[in-house]
Chains A and B, each alone.
Chain A
C-alpha cells in the first residue's frame, strides 16, 4: 500500500450469487483528499464501501484502510474511521442526547463541541427520539455521531440520499465547513454532482461494477468533450469512433460527446464532411450523465424517429 493512500485495493471483487457487484477494483485514495465515488444505482459503490470497512467479505482480492487489512480491521483502526451509512439508521428508541452518550463512550477522542455543533446546525432537540426525527434530521444526527470522534478518514455512503433541498444544503455545509481539514481524508459516494463539483478533489466512477475512472475532477472534465458538426442536409451515419459516448442527430446537425478527444478523433469527424465543426462547453453533470448513460446514437430527426419500430 502506498504511504500516501489511506485506502488501497487490489483486484477487489464481490459477487452476489452469480452476479458480480464489484469487479477487479484497483483503487488508491490519497491522504487528505476529498474523494468522490460515483456511479449509477447498483454499480457497486455501497458494496465497495462495505468491503472496505470489513462489513462484507470480498469474493477475492485484497484491500487496506489506514494500513490495515480490510478483512481484520482492529478497533484502533475503526476509531480512526468515521462511517456514515446510506440509510442513516439508528436506534429508534434512543433520544438524540442518548445517541451521543452511547457513541461517546466508545471513542476516547470524542469532541462534544462538534456533536453539539452539528445537531445545533440541524436544529435537533437533544430530547427528541430518533424514531420521531425526519430523514434529514436523522442524517444530521448521524453526521454528528460520525464527526464527533474526529476521525482521520470519513467514509460517507451517499450522505444526501433522500434529503430535501434544505436538509441537503445543511448536510453539505456541515461537510464542507466542519469536516474539511488537511489531515482528514473524505471518501464519499454520491449522486449529487453539484456537491461533487463543489467539494471533491478526485473522482472514481464505477460503471456496471467496473472501475472506469479514477482521476482528478479536472482531468475528468477535460477528458469529456462536446463537439457540434453542421451539415447541409441530414447528417451522415456516425462511424465507429474510439471514446464516443453519445451522438445526437438533428436536422443538419450532429452533436457528439467523446472521451479522450484527440487528433485521430478530429480526423475521423472531419471525414464526415461537416460544413462547420465547433467545440461546445459541457458541464460536469452532463459529462457524468453522458459517461454513465446509454451509449450510442440518439436521433432527433422526425422521419428517422418514426421509421424506428
Chain B
C-alpha cells in the first residue's frame, strides 16, 4: 500500500501545491488587511468597529474563505484522484494488481487526506500561529472561537469523499453522478444550524462515514451499483438521498413559488406617539399606504390637510422607546443559540478609548483591554476594579441577556448596575437593588429579586434618551445616568417578559409596555393582552389599559408549505426534531407529514413496479417499497439513480418481454436459448489439437 500512497502523493502534488498557494495567499491577504487597518486605527483612524474586524480569527471573511476553500479543494481533490485513473485501461492497470480493492481504496484516501491536511491545515496553522503571537492581534482569544473553522476543516473531508464518489460513480444519468455532493452541501448547512457541538460532530461523522462507505463500495464494483458489497449499497443510496431531496426541492420550489408572487400584507401593529396616544397601523393592499387609526378605530386625519397622513410622516411623531427581552421565570425561555453563534460570540467589542480597545468577555464576565499601538493585553475590569490578568479575583459582571445591548454604557451583576471607566481603570457602582424578595411586587414568583436585564443607550434615533432601564424579577426601574432611581414599576404580569419603556417628551411622561412571553402567548392562542401603563416623572401610575395582542403571530403552514412537503421525504420531518433546540421546531409538523406521506404512498406502487421492471428479488422489492414510504419522491429518484435499467427481449418460450440480466425468464422460468446457429460453427473438445 505504501507504493500506492507514494504514487498518489506524487500524482496529486501539483494540485495540492496550487491549493496551498491559493489558500496561503488569501490568508496572507487577510493578515495584511488586518495589520493595515490596525495601523490606521492606532494612528487615530475612525470608522466602524466590530469584533469581526478586530479579531481576525472570528471574522466572517476568514470563516467564509476557509469554508469555501476546504469544501472546494476537498471535492476537487477527491474527484481528481479518481478522474485521473477513470480512463478504462488505466483503471484496469490500477485495480488489476495483487491487492484488494479495500487496500487500493485506503491507499488512495490516506494519500488524499494527507494532501488535504497539507493544503488546508498548513495555511490554517500558520494563520493561527500569527494570530496567537503577542503583539499581532489587539483582541481576546479563546480556543472556542476556532471551533467553526475546525468544523469547516473537518467537513472538507466530507466534500472529499463526495468528490471521489462523483468521479467514481458509473451512472445512467450523468447529472446524477454529482448527487453525492448534495450530502456535503446539506452537512455544511446543518452544522451551522444545530444547537450543540456534539450534533455537529455526529452529522459530520455519520455523513462522512456514509460517503466513505459508498466510495469503498464503488471501488469494489468499479463504480456500478449492482455489484456493490452489502454495506456499499445502502451507503450509496443514503449518500445520494440528500442530493435527490435538493433536486426535487428546487424543482418543487420553481413550480410552486415562481409563478405565484402573491402579496402578503404585514400584520397590524401598535405605535405610540410622543404624546402617549396609541394608534393601530394596518396594511391592506400592496402599494397602498397603511391605515392609521386610533384604538376606537377612527382613522387619523391630519388637521392641516384634512387627509390621512402617510406612514413616513406619522413616524416622525413616534415616541422614543427602548425594549428589553429578559427571561423572567421560565428557564426554558432563556435564550439558546446555535453552537456556531455561541462560538462567534465569545467576546464583544465594548468600547474604544483614545489608545485602547475594550472587549466584554462572556466567559470571564469582565472587560478586557488591549493597547491599539502595541496590540498587547493591558488588563481587565470587573466589579471590583482593575486586574492585570483576565480572571481578576473571580469577580465578574453577569452575562448580558438576549436583546440586551452590550455596547452601551453600563454593566451589571445580580444586584448592582456598574459604570466602568476604562481610561481610569475604575468601575463605579451606580445602583443596587434593595428589595430582597419579590413577594410584595409579584406574589406569584416567591423568589428573591435579582437584575435580569439592563440597558443604557444614550442616543436613540437622534433623541438623547440618557436613561438606564433596569429590569429585575420584580420591577422595572428607570434610572438617571448617575444611577438615581427615577421610578420603579411592578410589571402587571410577572411572566410578561417583553418590556418596553417609552419616553413621552410632549407630556414629560413615560409609558411601560409589557407583552406576554412567547410560550405563554402560544399556550393561550394569543389571547393574553398587552398591557400599557402611563407613569409620570415620579413613577405614579396615571393610567393603564389592556390591548388586544397584536404581536402574537402563530406559525401556520400555508398552501405553498404543504405543496413543498409533497416533495420532501416523510422521514425528514421525523428526523429534524431529533436536533431539538431553538433553531428547530420541537414538535413533528404532522400537517406536513401527512402531505409528505400522501406523496410517498403514490411513490410506493411506482417503486414496486420499478422493482418488477428491474427484476429484483422479493426482499429487494419490499426493501425499496419501504424506502419509498420513508423517503417519498426523493427516494424514488434515488432508486432511479442507482438501479441500472436492464434491457428486455422477447422470451422465445412465452413471447413476453423478459429482462436480460436474469438467468431465467421471470414469466415462465425458461432458460435463455443459445444464439441461433448459422451452420458455420466449429467447436472442438478441449486439448484436441495441442
List residues of chain A with CB under 8 Å of any chain B CB.
Answer: 2, 4-5, 11, 13, 15, 17-20, 23-24, 28, 30, 32-33, 50, 53, 55-57, 59-60, 71, 74-76, 78-79, 81, 83, 85-91, 93, 101-103, 105-107, 201-202, 210, 212-220, 223, 242-243, 245, 259-260, 291
Which A residue's beta carbon lies closest to that of B689?
A: A216
- Selected contact of A105 from candidates B2, B92, B221, B663, CB within 8 Å: B2
Identify 18 new A-B residue pairs, CB closer than 8 A, beyond the known A216-B689, A245-B680: A4-B686, A11-B663, A11-B672, A17-B647, A24-B672, A28-B686, A30-B686, A33-B690, A55-B95, A57-B227, A78-B97, A89-B89, A93-B10, A103-B97, A106-B3, A217-B689, A259-B680, A260-B680
Contact assessment for A57 and B224 in the assembled complex, using a CB-CB cutoff below 8 Å: yes
Asked if B88 CB lies within 8 Å of chain A CBs, one says yes
* A256 shortest CB reach to chain B, Å: 14
Asked if B133 CB lies within 8 Å of chain A CBs, one says no
Contact assessment for A106 and B99 in the assembled complex, using a CB-CB cutoff below 8 Å: yes
A106-B98, A219-B684, A245-B680 known; A55 vs B689 contact (CB < 8 Å) = no
Which B residue's beta carbon lies closest to that of A11?
A: B672
Asked if B419 CB lies within 8 Å of chain A CBs, one says no
A56-B222, A57-B221 known; A242 vs B227 contact (CB < 8 Å) = no
Which A residue's beta carbon lies closest to that of B10?
A: A93
Which B residue's beta carbon lies closest to that of A220?
A: B682
Tell me the complex Cα distance, A91–B91, Å.
11
Which A residue's beta carbon lies closest to that of B687?
A: A30
Which B residue's beta carbon lies closest to that of A18?
A: B647
Contact assessment for B226 and A57 in the assembled complex, using a CB-CB cutoff below 8 Å: yes
Q: Is the interface of B mostly helix, strand, loop or mixed?
A: loop
Most central of B92, B97, B674, B679 by chain A CB within 10 Å: B92
Asked if B661 CB lies within 8 Å of chain A CBs, one says yes
Contact assessment for B680 and A76 in the assembled complex, using a CB-CB cutoff below 8 Å: no
A71-B227, A89-B89 known; A215 vs B689 contact (CB < 8 Å) = yes
A11-B672, A57-B227, A75-B98 known; A259 vs B679 contact (CB < 8 Å) = yes
Total number of B residues with any Cβ neighbor in A under 8 Å: 44
Asked if B11 CB lies within 8 Å of chain A CBs, one says yes
Contact assessment for B647 and A15 in the assembled complex, using a CB-CB cutoff below 8 Å: yes
Most central of B3, B99, B675, B680 by chain A CB within 10 Å: B680
* B15 shortest CB reach to chain A, Å: 12
The 5 closest A-B pairs by CB, nearest first: A216-B689, A79-B98, A215-B684, A85-B89, A105-B3
Tell me the complex Cα distance, A108–B646, Å.
41
Q: Is the interface of A mostly helix, strand, loop or mixed?
A: mixed
Which residues of B are found within 8 Å of A88, using beta-carbon distances? 89
Most central of B224, B663, B682, B686 by chain A CB within 10 Å: B682
Mark B657-690 against chain A: 1 for CB-CB distance below 8 A, else 0: 0001111000000001011001111111011111
Tell me the complex Cα distance, A30–B93, Å.
25
Contact assessment for B98 and A213 in the assembled complex, using a CB-CB cutoff below 8 Å: no
Which residues of A are found within 8 Å of B683, using beta-carbon distances? 213-215
11 intermolecular pairs with C-beta atoms under 8 Å apart: A15-B646, A50-B92, A60-B672, A76-B98, A85-B93, A86-B89, A87-B87, A102-B7, A107-B98, A212-B680, A260-B680
Which residues of A are found within 8 Å of B688, using beta-carbon distances? 215-216, 219
A81-B96, A220-B682 known; A60 vs B661 contact (CB < 8 Å) = yes
* B135 shortest CB reach to chain A, Å: 45
Contact assessment for A15 and B660 in the assembled complex, using a CB-CB cutoff below 8 Å: yes
Contact assessment for A212 and B686 in the assembled complex, using a CB-CB cutoff below 8 Å: no
Which A residue's beta carbon lies closest to that of B681?
A: A212
Which B residue's beta carbon lies closest to that of A29?
A: B686
Asked if B90 CB lies within 8 Å of chain A CBs, one says yes
Which residues of B are found within 8 Å of A33, using beta-carbon distances? 690
- Selected contact of B92 from candidates A2, A11, A53, A201, CB within 8 Å: A53
Contact assessment for B684 and A216 in the assembled complex, using a CB-CB cutoff below 8 Å: yes
Which residues of A are found within 8 Å of B11, using beta-carbon distances? 91, 93
Tell me the complex Cα distance, A83–B90, Å.
12
Tell me the complex Cα distance, A13–B97, Å.
25
* B641 shortest CB reach to chain A, Å: 17
Which residues of B are found within 8 Å of A60, using beta-carbon distances? 660-663, 672
* B496 shortest CB reach to chain A, Å: 69
Mark B632-665 against chain A: 1 for CB-CB distance below 8 A, else 0: 0000000000000011000000000000111100
Tell me the complex Cα distance, A20–B675, Å.
11
Which residues of A are found within 8 Å of B682, using beta-carbon distances? 212-215, 219-220, 223, 259-260
Tell me the complex Cα distance, A2–B646, Å.
32
Contact assessment for A102 and B3 in the assembled complex, using a CB-CB cutoff below 8 Å: yes
Which residues of B are found within 8 Å of A2, using beta-carbon distances? 686
A56-B222, A106-B98 known; A201 vs B690 contact (CB < 8 Å) = yes
Most central of B87, B222, B681 by chain A CB within 10 Å: B681
Tell me the complex Cα distance, A214–B688, Å.
11
Contact assessment for A201 and B689 in the assembled complex, using a CB-CB cutoff below 8 Å: yes
Which residues of A are found within 8 Å of B277, using beta-carbon distances? none
Mark B211-234 against chain A: 1 for CB-CB distance below 8 A, else 0: 000000000011010110000000
Tell me the complex Cα distance, A76–B679, Å.
41
Which B residue's beta carbon lies closest to that of A59?
A: B661
Contact assessment for A5 and B686 in the assembled complex, using a CB-CB cutoff below 8 Å: yes
Contact assessment for A243 and B672 in the assembled complex, using a CB-CB cutoff below 8 Å: no
Tell me the complex Cα distance, A85–B88, Å.
9
Which B residue's beta carbon lies closest to that of A104?
A: B3
Which B residue's beta carbon lies closest to that of A259?
A: B680
A57-B227, A76-B98, A219-B689 known; A89 vs B93 contact (CB < 8 Å) = yes
Which residues of A are found within 8 Å of B190, using beta-carbon distances? none
Contact assessment for B7 and A91 in the assembled complex, using a CB-CB cutoff below 8 Å: yes
Which residues of A are found within 8 Å of B100, using beta-carbon distances? 74-75
Which residues of A are found within 8 Å of B2, using beta-carbon distances? 105
Mark B114-158 against chain A: 1 for CB-CB distance below 8 A, else 0: 000000000000000000000000000000000000000000000
Which residues of B are found within 8 Å of A90, using beta-carbon distances? 90, 93
Contact assessment for A216 and B680 in the assembled complex, using a CB-CB cutoff below 8 Å: no
* A298 shortest CB reach to chain B, Å: 17
Contact assessment for B222 and A291 in the assembled complex, using a CB-CB cutoff below 8 Å: no
- Selected contact of A89 from candidates B87, B662, B678, B687, CB within 8 Å: B87
Which residues of B are found within 8 Å of A201, using beta-carbon distances? 689-690
Which B residue's beta carbon lies closest to that of A85?
A: B89
Tell me the complex Cα distance, A212–B688, Å.
17
Which residues of B are found within 8 Å of A17, using beta-carbon distances? 647
Contact assessment for B90 and A89 in the assembled complex, using a CB-CB cutoff below 8 Å: yes
Tell me the complex Cα distance, A56–B662, Å.
17
Which residues of A are found within 8 Å of B684, using beta-carbon distances? 214-216, 219
Contact assessment for A83 and B678 in the assembled complex, using a CB-CB cutoff below 8 Å: no
Which residues of B are found within 8 Å of A19, using beta-carbon distances? 647
A57-B227, A106-B97, A259-B680 known; A30 vs B89 contact (CB < 8 Å) = no
Tell me the complex Cα distance, A210–B91, Å.
27
Which residues of A are found within 8 Å of B678, using beta-carbon distances? 212
Which residues of A are found within 8 Å of B226, using beta-carbon distances? 57
A57-B227, A71-B227, A214-B683 known; A13 vs B660 contact (CB < 8 Å) = yes
Tell me the complex Cα distance, A53–B93, Å.
11
* B575 shortest CB reach to chain A, Å: 34
A106-B99, A259-B682 known; A83 vs B92 contact (CB < 8 Å) = yes
Tell me the complex Cα distance, A88–B10, Å.
21
A59-B660, A90-B90, A216-B690 known; A243 vs B98 contact (CB < 8 Å) = no
Which residues of A are found within 8 Å of B690, using beta-carbon distances? 30, 32-33, 201, 216
Which B residue's beta carbon lies closest to that of A79?
A: B98
Which residues of B are found within 8 Å of A13, using beta-carbon distances? 660, 672
Most central of B87, B98, B684 by chain A CB within 10 Å: B98
Which residues of B are found within 8 Å of A74, using beta-carbon distances? 100
- Selected contact of A4 from candidates B95, B663, B680, B687, CB within 8 Å: B687
Which residues of A are found within 8 Å of B10, using beta-carbon distances? 93
Which A residue's beta carbon lies closest to that of B683?
A: A214
* B447 shortest CB reach to chain A, Å: 71
* B450 shortest CB reach to chain A, Å: 70
Tell me the complex Cα distance, A78–B93, Å.
11
Which residues of B are found within 8 Å of A215, using beta-carbon distances? 682-684, 688-689
